[in-house]
Amino acid sequence: MRALALALLAFPLLAQHGRYLSDSNNPAIGDPKAIAAGTKLFMGSCAGCHGPDGGGGARGPNLVRRSLWHPLSDDAIFQVIRKGVPGTDMPPTKLEDDQTWNLVAFIHSLTGPASTNPVPGNAAAGKEVFWGAKAGCANCHSILGKGGSLAPDLSNVGGSRPLAVIRESILEPAKDLSYLGNEAAVVELKNGKTITGVAKNRSNYSLQIVDAKGRLHLLQMAEVKKLTISETTSMPTDFAKRLTRDELRDLLAYLAAQDIRLETAKGSK
């Protein structure tokens, strides 16, 4: 999923897919009790095909890192559970409305924006981890105008990504196949200068690169002598070891809270 999201940056024609829409005001969404009830139902009737964590099985697709193109919204999930997907193995159900919403709440907890779900951990402690030297996240990432410019802005990461995807981004950043839009690059120009940074976009004719100071350079390939592109992520791959379980949990709680639509006061959260 994340590889896709990054590829979208480079191929914006596809960027309209709202992959994690949450469009429902049903009180079940984000309610821990409803989610617990939904989990039970899911384990009983759905996990056999979709896997116990919604991660996909032999007979049903992954509901978290989805490969289907249409956007998944709460209301759409409700309809899918009720009516099934005709012509496929996805069966219709005869559940009551509130039971169906409990299931939606559970699926939403896997696939919906982290900020709309209950997340364990201490966000205030996670803030220290994010901005601290041990993790060093802010050397590369920014939140609300502070931090580095060599990696995606995380001001809205909780408002746009499910918790599972954020966790995976931190623990297994090298899992993606393409880093287009975030490629670490070194450019040697014909005039002898060298620029190191992130290639936001590139073609055979032009290159758009942001350096470590956050400045944008717009280059023509005719000016470039040599371009070295990293095939893997520049994000450290050892956070699973570097951070304690508590640190990781709290960091996730902090990131889950980064949602620009919940932001009312300015600046620091």
Partner 1 sequence: MKRALLSLLLAATAFAQVRNEDIVKGPGADWLTYAGTYSGWRYSPLNQITAANAKNVVPKWVYHVPGARGLRSSPIVYQGVLYITNTNSVYAIDARSGRMVWQYADPRAKEGGVNRGAAIWADKIYFTTSDNYLVALDRFTGSLIFNRKFADVEKGTTSTSAPVIAKGKVIVGSAGGDGGMRGFIMALSADNGDELWKTYTVPAKGEKGSETWGDLIEWGGGAAWLSGTYDAELNTLYWTTGNPWPDYNGSVRQGDNLYTCALLALDLDTGKMKWHFQFTPHDTHDWDAQSWPVLIDTQIMGKPRKVVLHANRNGFFYALDRVTGEFLRATQLIDKLTWAKGIDDKGRPIMLPNSEPTPTGNWVCPSVKGATNWMGQSYNPGTGLLYVLTLEQCGMYFRSSQNPEPMKHFSGGGATEEGGQVVLRALDPKTGKRVWEYPMTGAGRMWTGTVSTAGGVIFSGDDDGHFVALDAKNGKNLWHFNVGEGLTASPVVYSVDGKQYVAIASASAVFSFGLFEPAVPFEPPVIQMKK
CB 148 within 8 Å of CB 250: no
Structure tokens at 141: 């990432």
30 is a contact residue toward ligand HEC (CB under 6 A)? no
Least distance from ligand HEC to the Cβ atom of residue 119, Å: 14
Instruction: Identify residues 5-24 at the interface with partner 1 (CB under 8 A).
Output: 9-10, 12-16, 18, 21
CB 61 within 8 A of CB 67: yes
Which is nearest to 175 in space by CA: 257, 249, 239?
239
User: Would you state the torsion angle of the CA atoms of residues 180, 148, 118, 38, taken in this order, to the nearest 10 degrees?
Assistant: 10
64 near ligand HEC (CB under 6 A) = no
**Whether 261 contacts 157, CB under 8 Å:** no
Residue 141 interacts with ligand HEC (CB under 6 A): yes or no: yes
> Is position 142 an interface residue for partner 1 (rule: CB under 8 A)?
yes
* Separation CA 80–CA 220 (nearest Å): 49
> Could you give the CA distance from residue 48 to residue 66 in angstroms, rounded to a whole number?
18
Contact residues for partner 1, defined by CB under 8 A? 9-10, 12-16, 18, 21, 131-133, 138-139, 142, 144-146, 148-149, 153, 155-156, 159, 200-201, 203-206, 208, 210, 213-216, 218, 220-222, 224-232, 260-261, 263-264, 266-267
Contact residues for ligand HEC, defined by CB under 6 A? 2, 5-6, 45-46, 48-50, 59-61, 63, 66, 68, 72, 77, 80-81, 85, 88-91, 93, 103, 107, 135-137, 139-141, 150-152, 154, 157, 161, 166, 169-170, 173, 176, 179, 182, 233-236, 239, 251
